[in-house]
Chain A
Amino acid sequence: MTGFLLGTAAFLMANVAAGMIRVVRGPSPADRMLAAQLFGTTGVAVLLVLAQAMEEPALRDVALVFALLAVVVSVVFVKRGWVRISPAVDEEE
């Protein structure tokens, strides 16, 4: 069971990693924000799985914080960070 759960966690993490491609690609802020959302949901799943696999009940609390945080971050980003559609700051080189 533990092996299976750890494998699942790894799989889910890989899933998140794949999802990050969208953050990089954009193009709109909302697309990038999806990452936070994805991370919130999948991260909670991973933590719950790990809590079971590593027999570390404290991780369930962490999962709760993750869930909360993802919300807060998303809301804050939407409310405050929404300035332009594709902000690109040119670098001085």
Chain B
Amino acid sequence: MDLTLDLLTYGLVVMGAFFFVAGTAGVLRFPDVYCRLHAVTKADNLGLGFVALGLALQAPDWAARVQILLTWLLVLAAAATVCHLLGRSSLHGGVPAVGGKEVRS
């Protein structure tokens, strides 16, 4: 039982770490701010989800598990909001998008 759980945690955490790497890679390599927003919000939050899940399995009690999941949900909600804000501001601020049309200011 413990071994199974542990293996599951290993798997989930590694998976999460992978998504984090993917997110960072996106932040670094994507051509414009709008693409990068995708990377950081989607990949990283997914990664966080996997990590959180993996850790929740190991958590000592239910309270901790709930807290972990709540934290994740909070980050998720926050990411959505912030991402939207950032994107909109960039657009209004005249940050050009790659391949996109000329942006009005």
Contact = CB atoms under 8 A, between A and B. Distances in A.
B27 A22 contact: yes
A85 B9 CA distance: 43
Interface residues of B, number: 49
A1 B6 contact: yes
B85 interface: yes
B52 to A, nearest CB: 6
Nearest to A46: B51
A21 B29 CA distance: 11
Contact of A29 (B36, B58, B59, B93): B93
Interface string B74-95: 1100110111011101100111
B81 A37 contact: no
Interface of B: 6, 9-10, 13-14, 16-17, 20-21, 23-24, 27-28, 33, 36-37, 40-41, 44-45, 47-48, 51-52, 55, 58-60, 64, 67-68, 70-72, 74-75, 78-79, 81-83, 85-87, 89-90, 93-95
Interface of A: 1, 4-5, 8, 11-12, 15-16, 18-19, 21-22, 28-31, 33-34, 37-38, 40-42, 44-45, 48-49, 51-52, 57, 60-61, 63-64, 67-68, 70-71, 74-75, 78-79, 82, 85
26 contacts: A5-B13, A19-B24, A22-B27, A22-B36, A30-B37, A31-B33, A34-B27, A34-B36, A38-B27, A38-B40, A41-B44, A44-B48, A44-B71, A44-B75, A45-B16, A45-B52, A49-B55, A51-B55, A52-B59, A57-B60, A64-B67, A64-B74, A71-B78, A82-B89, A85-B93, A85-B95
